[in-house]
Amino acid sequence: MITFTRKTIFGFFLLAFSTMMLSQDIRPITDSGAYYDSLIRRDVVPRLIVRSDDMGAFHSVNVACIEALRNGIETDIELMVVTPWFPEAVRLLRENPGVDVGLHLTITSEWDNIKWRPLTPCPSLTDDNGYFYPMMRANAAYPGQSVTENNWDLTEVEQEFRAQIELGLKNVPQISHVSGHMGSTNFDPKVQEMARRLAKEYHLVYAEGREMGITSVRYDGPSTTVAEKESSFVRMLEKLEPGKNYLFLDHPALDNDEMQTVGHTGYENVAADRQGVTNTLTSSRVKQVVNERGIELINYIDVAGALPRSAPEAENVAPEGISCYLEAVEANGQELHSVMIVRHGKVVFERWFGEHAANKPHQMWSVSKTFTSTAIGFAVSENRLKVTDKVVSFFPDKLPAEVSSYLREMEIRHLLTMSTGNEERQINRSGANVDWVEAFLAAPMVRRPGAEFSYNSMATYMLAAILQKVTGEKLVDYLYPRLFRPLGITGVTWSESPQGVNIGGWGLSVKTEDMAKLGQFILQKGRWNDAQLLPEAWIGEATTSHIASLPSGATRENLTMKTEDSDWLQGYGYKIWRCRHNGFRADGANGQFIIMLPDQDAVIAITANISDMQSELNLIWEHLLPAMK
């Protein structure tokens, strides 16, 4: 029976109000610890993409784009790959993996003093010197020098677009969408249809379509000088309407010797004009207005790649159960950072607490392991490795002087199930010059692999190292085309070992909705948007218990808890814990969870700072589970 206290009624009122919402940010009241002082929701605040175009064109543009990202309000960067400063742009974007990047497809070269050429033979798109034409459409200052005035060939446009996409993805895996430089993707209906098709083929969002429901906005007033730009930009911000998605795009750069050589007839003051853009996007006044108005800064994937939303009642989730859960969280002093509930593939509830927000990645701790095991699943499906492959076979140059029989027996499946036969506490990886693979292989083997579960995060690091060895790609790069881009996951960061290997067992940061997407992907048995990305058989194998599990640091001898009372004694799959109530989960230190409940067709994603993670789960079982009818 549910008892309704005053707090419960208040929480229910808030919940009922929030069912009409798509997102909210709740900051705690400092004097009472309550979570209810500020509600900021997607349908009562404007949402704005701030896009910077033409990275790669000039060094000054590269510097300005990164400045607007780090110290401004920029949320999206459009990258040109045919331009001279593309290699530097690649380096800068790899140093800033959290930014959303678009591939700015280019078939024009507009500036008088600098030109660029196509990647492929396409004479219908180039002038007598082999450069792209300067203009897309007829321009009196450049007669006969536009794409549309010449006999452009659709096949050549497609082959050039395809080459640019592949070069971009090869060097900048976090690219999430395509756009067109000077209208290159939509100057003709046939070109637009082809660009859409290519975007779908490469799991990219086509960012030029009106169907995304994004309204383009510009400066609201004169914008010649720096001061005019800032004032007109602020006026634009003040007119944005709650509940709508907007796009502002411009071209930041620096006013220096390099940019002062750039221009074309009709646009000669490029350097000064684009320095004004940089100043505006990094302006303290602009940032203040964004904060005061509660404008949510978003990117394309936040719009095009979001999970569907629904009301709890529409998906047979009792709102009062969620309200009671939130009350219990507060009463137990649990520090939640976010919670997202997905039922029947639709988000029915989401909330962020304190300074945490929908667009802020969170440290995953050992939830990272489940992403790593998913990558191994892709590699197995591609016949790059087998779970029965011997670990020592991948690192013949890193083996200890004496290789024990147990070490020779160790297989990838033992890494996946935490049954390697060695103990993490005996793996010495301290020191900047220590090779982590060598340290793992040198650790004493205390039992036969597969005999017993022993929590060992370095086993997951070994999976990441093996994956990098057989694919030539870092774990995060390998996952982008196979998992992250298809699911619409961007802004991923993953820490590395001194050897440049993604750590695998920890170090991943993603957003709460990204966690929910992985959970939904697993719940759907590797299927996403009518495509079977990962074999169903792998998901079944990964979520099945392969070995009796133990809490981290526990042994059978010192175990005091009963199996029926513990979610750490239900068995362990491939970096996935079995739960009570026929569920399974990814979990990480201090309360990070992706809980998947097949019987309820539900996913619960949680970020937190909670040391007693069993108590955290108990509240979920007590309140949220029965709320799912």
Query: CA end-to-end span of the chain, whole Å?
Result: 15
- Give ∠ CA 153-157-158 in degrees, rounded to 5: 120
Dist CA 180 CA 172 (whole Å): 18
The mean pLDDT value for 199-226 works out to 93
What percentage of residues in the chain have a pLDDT greater than 70?
A: 93
- Residue 243 backbone phi and psi in degrees, to 5: 80, 0
The mean pLDDT value for 226-241 works out to 98
Q: Residue 392, by phi and psi: left (phi above 0), alpha (psi -120 to 50) or beta?
A: alpha
CATH level 3 topology of 47-294: TIM Barrel (3.20.20)
> Is domain 364-509+543-584 given the CATH code 3.40.710.10 in the classification?
yes
If you search the block for the tokens 């790899």, which residue do you land on?
94
129-180 residue pLDDT tens = 999 999 999 999 999 999 999 999 999 999 999 999 999 999 999 999 999 9
470-528 residue pLDDT tens = 999 999 999 999 999 999 999 999 999 999 999 999 999 999 999 999 999 999 999 99
pLDDT on residue 42 = 57
- Residue 323 backbone phi and psi in degrees, to 5: -60, -45
594-615 residue pLDDT tens = 999 999 999 999 999 999 999 9
User: Do residues 216 and 247 make contact, with C-beta atoms less than 8 angstroms apart?
Assistant: yes
DSSP calls for 398-417: S--SS--HHHHH-BHHHHHT
What is the identity of the amino acid at 287?
K
Dist CA 521 CA 538 (whole Å): 12
Dist CA 376 CA 374 (whole Å): 5
Dist CA 130 CA 117 (whole Å): 6
Is 47-294's fold the same as 364-509+543-584's?
Answer: no
Q: What is the mean pLDDT of the chain?
A: 93
278-288 residue pLDDT tens = 999 999 999 99
22: pLDDT strictly greater than 60: no
Domain ranges for the chain, please list them: 1-42+307-360+511-519+590-629, 47-294, 364-509+543-584
